Structure 1
């Protein structure tokens, strides 16, 4: 069993250096700083074989960009060339030409000296239909049911989960839970205990959420670059209908988008909900933002993977499927962001299609 680890660059706790705020002070609410990432320079440092280059996948560098540009970065006793920085909406990428993969690099800047191991690209997921997500303290039964459903209903045969510092169980328990799902040929849980970013803002609330964009970039460049197809959705989202992996493969653009609707469990607060309980809907139905399935490395998809689509979502409507959808399960949540609506029961009606789609989990 391969145990994957990220190789980050993180400023020491006592360092005076830190990332400046991206959201102005007048919009930050109480508690904003608690989940803001002040210290991470790079989530992972990867040698990319095709480009013969080191890739640092970073939160938005902001003022730390000058630090990276001025840093003395060495490998095998040689100073590396000046980096090239690609700036994106919620993460940055630092590219440095390097013909061969070293075991580690030195990073020296403003009195700071760090040694950083180098990650290599994985081929564990090559040719597979991969479920990919991030998770923190999600009930292991939820994760297994989420995987079981997509193995059975969608033909998934691999899973990659970035664990964002769970405290309810060790990473080994998540790994074992994934491995116990029949039909998965590759299953890996990867520790990624970085600040998620804060939603506690009156405006620009998503600007600081660097973590998810960073994990998508790591998935794309390091782990899933040669996957057959990738479905990046959350544990509370269940795809039903036509096979979305096959649909993406047939798509001219190499990706498809999936419409979503909210589903509810109609349970009381003292009951533990499961996906299979989410067979209730509002009338009229309550829609949510679409998700997507992507084929890595196509001419159109060799770009940033975002939360809800590619290329700033400009083409989402063009590739939206009408033979597939996902059920967004309201009560599959530990309430980290908001308290889910447990009092909606009186407004709901039973949905036969959802009951049929999730019935296999009973």
Structure 2
């Protein structure tokens, strides 16, 4: 993968990552989606050390740590097991490491740390697969206009509708004043929680978040983590979620929100955009899970960037009532059941704050350019 110094075992390797979920709790497709082969996602420099970001090592741990120390001449090694991801720090100035693992020898050339690119930027961070580029552009424009976002770091996870360079170039042309970076992240997404909601095998997104944190975003002014089907609306109609995080006691805020229904005035077959869905899902099914915005430089090292919060804090001390997510049930590329639409019914309730926010962001105009 271009831009990553990874170590992935071949399909025919006799060594595979052990599964920790009991067989009785594995849903259909578990084995096909489990990441058996990724040893580490990337190796990059930070000061006088190399950082390796990896999925949980499990049975790989002892052999890999020994291999890294051997390759570096027994350099100091620090190992941090985080939730569904691992961080290894190796104190060495080596420009290359010859790593031998599971009978395979790889020459690893560490990648540069690129935190300087995002220094003092307000960054949108997301993982995406095959999302419509128009959705991504609308999502970024909304947060640029409404909250002051001026950078996008997108991890493209195995899209086959377009090339990552094509996506990055198109977004950069659309938003010339912003910093746009698309990372080609060709690792298995992993396995969801299944009927038992046992969330223990969805490694990739946790790897993305902590890779982004340490390689790209250490110097960012603030970072908003969310998905392309989520828009953050200020309750007062004018506040910036980035500013709120920057001025919060802990440098982190979290917020939940509401589902937006699949009701639309569009005819079947017309291209769908956020602006085409303006009605709330009826209570009590309309509350969605939280997301967060943070100042990376104020996060403790032992905290962990997770999907719905940042570990190491209680939820109540971080929760902000000033922002609400609008989670669009019909804007998604990976869950077919959520891509269906229906006509607007008489009892559908329009979300007036969302309408005003979309208007303020210029998303009802045909020409949508956040640089205007």
Q: Same fold (TM over 0.5)?
A: yes
Of 3, 7, 10, 2:8 maps to: 10
Within-5 A mapping of 1:1-362: 5-49=3-47, 52-71=48-67, 73=69, 79-81=73-75, 83-98=77-92, 100=93, 102-122=94-114, 123-182=116-175, 184-199=177-192, 201-241=194-234, 242-267=239-264, 270-284=269-283, 286-298=286-298, 300=300, 303-311=303-311, 314-336=313-335, 339-340=338-339, 342=341, 345-346=344-345, 348-359=348-359, 360-362=362-364
Deviation of 1:204 (Å): 4.6
Q: 1:67-124 CA deviation, whole Å, 9 max, x = no partner?
A: 213325566xx523363321122111122121x2x33211113422111120121111
3-state secondary structure, aligned to 1:349: coil
**Greater mean alpha carbon deviation, residues 351-360 or residues 289-298:** 351-360
- Structure 2: how far apart are the matches of 1:69 and 1:113? 15
Q: Output the CA distance in 2 between the equivalents of 1:334 and 1:269.
A: 17
Q: For residues 181 and 136 of structure 1, do their structure 2 counterparts lie closer, same or farther at Cα, with a shift above 3 Å needed?
A: same
Question: Which stretch of the first structure deviates more once superposed, 260-269 or 87-96?
Answer: 260-269
Secondary structure at the counterpart of residue 161 of structure 1: strand
Q: Which residue of 1 aligns with 2:370?
A: none
**CA distance 1:265–1:110, shift in 2 (3 Å):** closer
Give, in whole Å, the separation in 2 of the partners of 1:187 and 1:72.
33
Cα deviation, 1:291-347, whole Å, max 9, x if unaligned, reads 1100012154762111111116x4222222222212111111123475456459546
Compared CA separation, residues 204 and 61, structure 1 to 2 (3 A): farther
Residues 135 and 164 in structure 1, CA contact (< 8 A), matched pair in contact too: yes
3-state SS, counterpart of residue 315 of structure 2: coil
How far did residue 200 of structure 1 move?
Answer: 6.5
Change (3 A) 1:193 1:284: same
Contact map agreement 2:63 2:101 (CA 8 A) in 1: yes
TM-score, normalised to structure 1's length? 0.90
C-alpha distance in 1 between matches for 2:288 and 2:145:
24
Structure 2 residues not aligned, in runs of 5+: 365-372
**Following the alignment from structure 1 to structure 2, what is the Cα–Cα distance between the partners of residues 302 and 230?**
18
- 8 Å contact from structure 2 (residues 120, 221) kept in 1: yes
How large is the RMSD of aligned CA atoms in angstroms?
2.3
Instruction: Please report how far the alpha carbon of residue 165 of structure 1 lies from its aligned counterpart in structure 2 after TM superposition.
Output: 1.1
Higher alpha-carbon deviation: 130-139 or 85-94: 85-94
Report the Cα distance in structure 2 between the residues aligned to 1:352 and 1:173, rounded to whole angstroms: 36
Structure 1 residues 59 and 226, CA, compared in 2 at 3 Å: closer, same or farther?
same
Q: Take 2:13 and 2:301, find their aligned partners in 1: how far apart are those partners?
A: 39
Which secondary structure state, in structure 1, belongs to the residue aligned with residue 296 of structure 2? coil
